Structure 1
């Protein structure tokens, strides 16, 4: 494991990514964008509330909104940073040179994955002081803040592995990026539409006891949707409503964690297997 995490591929990617001044400008603009949202929401709440005070309920609403906005930014940025890590090497005709080194396929994949998501993890950590501004108004526990941080880190890792997988399978960077964004759009937008559709159908069948006993489709669609799961553990009423419609009362976040962990493992293993497939065929 140590050779996978600390290898020349990872060291080179770290130096190339964090030596550039543009990387730090990206962090600056990201923090400024999140900060503008936070300050704007606080200003609007102070104008609309009695006496300019912000109650804990309003602070909790701002926290949920900020968490969803940051998750949306993470989902939007991750495919762009990970979908070209292998295909770009192939287009520059440096992949064959990389494959002839002593580095294993797993070491190359993990090195590329860690280096690409490290910048996103830096963005997530850099936004923590902005969460503390909302945290000061009450209505939010430290546990919820840590849960949001852990959930964002987990999301970055899983969606980053999906980007690395398509970068390994697809030869062109543009095609790999489009495919990764398409997969992300399905996991976010497609499953949200399916949750709404299946939930509406389950609500219509509430009068039929036989049909309403167990209807797993709303639960299965919501389980795959990252924003719904985040809102579910920040606002438990949403998870309870999905459980009522589907008849499944297993925690939604636990199912999401299990499913996406398997997705991460499958993506990494398939990437490792397909990285040297042509070299094995020639042998």
Structure 2
């Protein structure tokens, strides 16, 4: 039986055996639980003294939005320093002199961060029991949201690892990762709305009806995590009349996350190689 990657084994032990990991899981659940209890309390104040079971769908939407926000905040923090931290501790050169390839080092760091984030996701499943108790959401929608979180987590983690590989300082890598993730989560939506308004303005000036959504607006809508998740939940958030695309919205988002994520991981492994980074192992060891 082949031995497990030693870097991956070390990373998993450090993440899951540390007291900080348990503290992060506790704080994560407290934040999501606080959102749920606060929403139930607000609904109870507006109802005749009891919680209305029909509000379970709204609870699910609030939980999903809060979960997406926490993922966009937690995942970059876990991955933005995985390579740059090794470089700052002057242990990266030691890793590069082992039998492990640069790509295996990058994937080990990525898998470790994603496994801990997946633990956070599955730890929140009991909070969703309120939806199963009162109904309001189809099982397919719940599984779709869970799959959406997993693929989004992979994309955010790949961005963090790529920034950590490219930038030498963890601080710069962290800021860059949060900036890119923020643009994907919020910037694509604002950009889609801005371009859509420009097209509407031009259509009003030309006195013509816009029969379908412009291609660029449709693509931006299909790659925006917030809009994709709301559409999975059954909300109507499409700008304009819509356009026939080769793939459904969730297929476009899935392909985008997989293609960009895999490309960033492969690029990070290539960039981490001493040959491609402009340094040879001989010069590192005997400089």
Normalising by structure 2, report the TM-score.
0.89
Change (3 A) 1:278 1:216: same
Aligned partner of 1:141 in structure 2 is 138
8 Å Cα contact 2:56-2:130 kept in structure 1? no
Deviation at 1:236, TM superposition (A): 4.4
Bigger fraction of residues in helix: 1
Deviation at 1:247, TM superposition (A): 2.7
Deviation at 1:198, TM superposition (A): 2.1
Cα distance in 2 for partners of 1:270, 1:153 equals: 21
Cα distance in 1 for partners of 2:107, 2:90 equals: 20
> Is the aligned partner of 1:215 residue 2:214?
yes
8 Å Cα contact 1:216-1:248 kept in structure 2? no
Change (3 A) 1:69 1:266: same
Cα distance in 1 for partners of 2:50, 2:279 equals: 72
Aligned partner of 2:20 in structure 1 is 22
Aligned partner of 2:32 in structure 1 is 34
Question: How do residues 152-163 of structure 1 correspond to structure 2 at under 5 angstroms?
Answer: 152-163=149-160
Normalising by structure 1, report the TM-score.
0.90
2:244 aligned to which of 245, 248, 271:
248
Cα distance in 2 for partners of 1:19, 1:43 equals: 36
Question: How do residues 111-126 of structure 1 correspond to structure 2 at under 5 angstroms?
Answer: 111-126=108-123
8 Å Cα contact 2:213-2:239 kept in structure 1? no
8 Å Cα contact 1:82-1:163 kept in structure 2? yes
8 Å Cα contact 2:35-2:66 kept in structure 1? no
Cα distance in 2 for partners of 1:35, 1:83 equals: 27
> Is the aligned partner of 1:196 residue 2:193?
yes
1:181-234: per-residue Cα shift (whole Å, max 9, x none)? 11111112211211221232344437524x645511221221221111111111
8 Å Cα contact 2:165-2:271 kept in structure 1? yes
1:12 aligned to which of 10, 29, 37:
10
Cα distance in 1 for partners of 2:139, 2:255 equals: 24
2:85 aligned to which of 69, 79, 88:
88
1:84-132: per-residue Cα shift (whole Å, max 9, x none)? 0001001111001001111112211110001112221111110010011
Aligned partner of 2:226 in structure 1 is 227
Cα distance in 1 for partners of 2:224, 2:34 equals: 27
Structure 1 unpaired stretches of 5+: none
1:61 aligned to which of 48, 58, 61:
58
8 Å Cα contact 1:224-1:256 kept in structure 2? yes
Aligned partner of 2:254 in structure 1 is 257
Structure 2 unpaired stretches of 5+: 281-287
**RMSD of the TM alignment (CA)?**
2.2
Cα distance in 1 for partners of 2:193, 2:95 equals: 46
Change (3 A) 1:40 1:135: farther
Cα distance in 2 for partners of 1:171, 1:208 equals: 53
The 3-state SS of whatever aligns with 1:37 is: helix
Deviation at 1:19, TM superposition (A): 1.5
